[in-house]
Structure 1
Amino acid sequence: MMMTKTRLILLAGVATGIMLQPAMALDAQAFVDRVAEVYKTIGYDLEFGTATLDGDTITVDGVTVGLTQMAAEDGMEPVVIDTELTFSGVTEGADGSYKAASLTVPDIDTDFAEDPTGHLTLSDIRVDGIYVPAGDTIPAVAVLQLWQSASTGKLSVTRDGEEVISIDSITSNTTFNPEQGAAALTDLHSTFAANNIRLDLSTVGEEDASAGAVIEALGLTNISGNITQDVTWSMADGHMVINEAKFDFPQVGKINLKADLTGLTPAVLDQIYAMQAAMAASGDASEEQAQAQMMSTMALMQGVSIVGASVRYDDASLAGKLLEFFATQSGTDRATFVSGIKSMLPALIGQAGIPALTDLVVPPVSAFLDNPQSLEVKVAPPSPTSVLVLMAAAANPAGLITALGLGVTANQAE
């Protein structure tokens, strides 16, 4: 009987050991190395500090974030994040991929400039639903699924102790269909929001007196608002709809961009990534290489079509204040100043040599100048039209207006 119990205990221990083996096999350094390798695909050069494993939690002693060679040529210096990074709920898949439930970063509270003193605080930094794909080549469909959500609490920037920028919170969320990590991703929905942005521009004049005077005259010393974005994207036909990309500052005005495109499939993105990698590897391209790259880009654009797009501005006060300001600068009243602009519009637009454009633009712009409410530019081709076709149509600007279904309206409801 005693022997039987002993055997059962031994068997239970062996079984427990087998079940725990995958977790014990997790390697902290291999994880961060893989993260760095994957993010190099999208242009980031990450150098992680020492990584330590505790159960399914990996802590990392900071990271230096740089850009890969092609991006670095633009003069961007690496950013050193000298604080502990905590990846929680890390698991390794059978194929060598990784997932992490979350990444959290301690609150930032640091000076970044001396004269004048600049100070930055940022709280509640986290990323949830992290996916690190396996494989020597990272396909675009995997890149699109690297994380599910990211958020921060309040961001505050002070200048000599006075707050000049603050944002209550920043959130970004993506939902995937089917679940994150699927090779056959069907579609995704992504949202972004920077909530309650507040800007104090009263100190701009200390650096640039003329700019400060303009800001003061326009009553823009303190402004606030929100930035939001909403995007849906279907993989099969590359149908991307930007439902909104909105900059809404109620005391000033609102700008909203919308777009409807097809053909932006993962296969097209894969080709774009391959071209970028080839350009980075070749360094300074010869004239022949540059031409070949241009031809490749044009070939890619043949499959991307515009269904529609629009940019709309709704004025709250800015347009009227600008007209008042420039009228005063010109030594006249607003009505006279507006009449002068309207009289010059046909000649200014007519310089393009396209009568149809003058007929399209002058009436709505004139109406907006008389009564600034809204101004919208829309593109609505009769049928989805490839970017390449539109590039060819540009040789005949009058024909391009028709091909684009270009329209300009003023003071109309959304």
Structure 2
Amino acid sequence: MTQSRATKLFLAGTFLTTLSGHAWALDGQDLLKKINAAYAAGSATISAESVEVDGSDVLLKGAKFTTLGENQSSVNLGDLTLTNVSEEDGGAYSIERIDFPPVNFTEEKSSVTVDDLYLAGVWVPGSTEGNDLSSMMLYDEAHSGQVKVVVDGKEVFSMEEASGTLDVAEDEKSMTFEGDITGIKADLASVEDAKSKEAIEALNLKTIDGEVTMKGSWELATGTIKVEEYAFDFANVGMLNLAFSVSGYTMDLVKQMQETARTMQSQPQNEQAQQAAGLAMLGLMQQMSFNNAEIRFEDDGITSRGLEFAGKQQGTSGEEMAQMVKAMVPIMLGQANLGAFANEVSAAVNSYIDDPKSLTISATPEKAVPFPMIMGAAMGAPDTLPKVLGAKVTAND
């Protein structure tokens, strides 16, 4: 090989290496710009004093979260560390993990601490114009470690851990989600207001201990959201679980609602524009349909204690208070003009009051009911609404 040929190959290799380095170097400012473009409905922005790139890691120094609109406010987030960032096809980014600094906030005699805050498996879309989940900013897991609230040197609230996960289908046309908050504890013994203190002691709520769980799914083609479980479970109180399903919440509807929200934020002082946007939002909501719902409460002693306390306030016993409630329910339902459904509700309430175990309100129509139909029945013929929704009320089942 001649010296001239070797020199040319060396220069060509150097050029390609340099070009490759520029092609693969992360653009931290572009990443931040696309995070803000994808963030919710544009109701807030994330800014940083500087953006530092070190290989595949990005550091947002002095990050700040600012809400938009009339009541603008900012929260300092500190330095955010984005680990193992890679640029994907179409200008999107994947981030292995975003770590937030611990929260340690103190004001006068109160303090709040939060640790182990992070997002894992974050997807930042290159464009928000698509109609599948790849056009949304998503994550595999959102996590918070222990939370503590201390007032006057005494811990009044704590939470052990909170975690939420998203699982996107391979075709990016549906996803499932789960979340839980564990180790929730609240100390209400230090409440100073005399009436509140009396109620807390009577209801045996000086300490509260429980958890919250949720799971569901979203299918883009039909816009069907199913929340299978949204449960609040607290010792000595009971468990309240909400489940429901609606359809019509498509990606197109999401984008229209986001655009309407941006319009409202851009003209906060224009009352006519706000009213017009509000009516537009109601119109968009009418594209949705109701599939089913259930509200169920399983008692853990709070009902009996509540009747005892209410009776004491009226100068009577818990048993007599229970009879008063049973007598009042038909009168209140009669004012709601619910027809024969009122008798079903009264019978279920009576059974529950006599033996508090569970009370369930369900609505399962034969087929999905458009929201405008529900609104029309509620305003024009409320007695037909239970039949339209397939409503039932049962106790202790």
> Normalising to structure 1: TM-score of the pair?
0.87
SS state at 1:247 partner: strand
Match of 2:138 in 1: 146
| Aligned equivalent of 1:220, options 205, 208, 212 | 205
For 1:276-355, list aligned pairs within 5 A: 276-284=261-269, 290=275, 293-294=278-279, 296-355=280-339
> Is 2:380 aligned against 1:388?
no
Match of 1:101 in 2: 96
Amino acid at match of 2:206: T
1:248-279: CA deviation from partner (whole Å, max 9, x where unpaired)? 11321111100011111111111111222222
In 1, Cα distance between the equivalents of 2:393 and 2:40?
42
In 2, Cα distance between the equivalents of 1:392 and 1:243?
27
In 2, Cα distance between the equivalents of 1:132 and 1:219?
47
In 2, Cα distance between the equivalents of 1:86 and 1:291?
42
SS state at 2:221 partner: coil
> Is 2:66 aligned against 1:66?
yes
SS state at 1:237 partner: coil
Specify whether residues 171 and 402 from structure 1 end up closer, same or farther in structure 2 by C-alpha distance, changes over 3 A only.
same
- Cα offset for 1:213? 2.1
For 1:368-407, list aligned pairs within 5 A: 368-394=352-378, 395-407=380-392
Q: Tell me if structure 2 keeps the 8 A contact 1:233–1:240.
A: yes
In 2, Cα distance between the equivalents of 1:289 and 1:160?
43
> Is 2:160 aligned against 1:168?
yes
Unmatched 5+ stretches in structure 2: none
Query: After TM superposition, what 4+ stretches of structure 1 lie above 6 angstroms from structure 2?
Result: 4-8
SS state at 1:232 partner: strand
| Aligned equivalent of 2:220, options 229, 232, 235 | 235
SS state at 2:349 partner: helix
SS state at 2:181 partner: strand
Deviates more, 1:277-286 or 1:8-17: 8-17
- Cα offset for 1:350? 1.2
1:125-180: CA deviation from partner (whole Å, max 9, x where unpaired)? 111122222347586845644322111221111112221111111111101112xx
Unmatched 5+ stretches in structure 1: 179-183
| Aligned equivalent of 2:186, options 159, 180, 199 | 199
> Normalising to structure 2: TM-score of the pair?
0.91
Match of 2:21 in 1: 20
Match of 1:181 in 2: none
Deviates more, 1:258-267 or 1:34-43: 34-43
Q: Tell me if structure 2 keeps the 8 A contact 1:140–1:267.
A: no
Amino acid at match of 1:161: G
Match of 1:260 in 2: 245
In 2, Cα distance between the equivalents of 1:261 and 1:333?
43
Match of 1:185 in 2: 172
> Is 2:79 aligned against 1:84?
yes
Specify whether residues 297 and 53 from structure 1 end up closer, same or farther in structure 2 by C-alpha distance, changes over 3 A only.
closer
- Cα offset for 1:325? 0.9
- Cα offset for 1:389? 1.1
Specify whether residues 223 and 147 from structure 1 end up closer, same or farther in structure 2 by C-alpha distance, changes over 3 A only.
same
> Is 2:115 aligned against 1:119?
no
SS state at 1:204 partner: coil
SS state at 2:275 partner: helix
In 2, Cα distance between the equivalents of 1:326 and 1:301?
40
- Cα offset for 1:324? 1.1
SS state at 1:355 partner: coil
- Cα offset for 1:45? 2.8
Match of 2:236 in 1: 251
In 1, Cα distance between the equivalents of 2:86 and 2:381?
57
Amino acid at match of 2:23: P
Q: Tell me if structure 2 keeps the 8 A contact 1:148–1:174.
A: yes
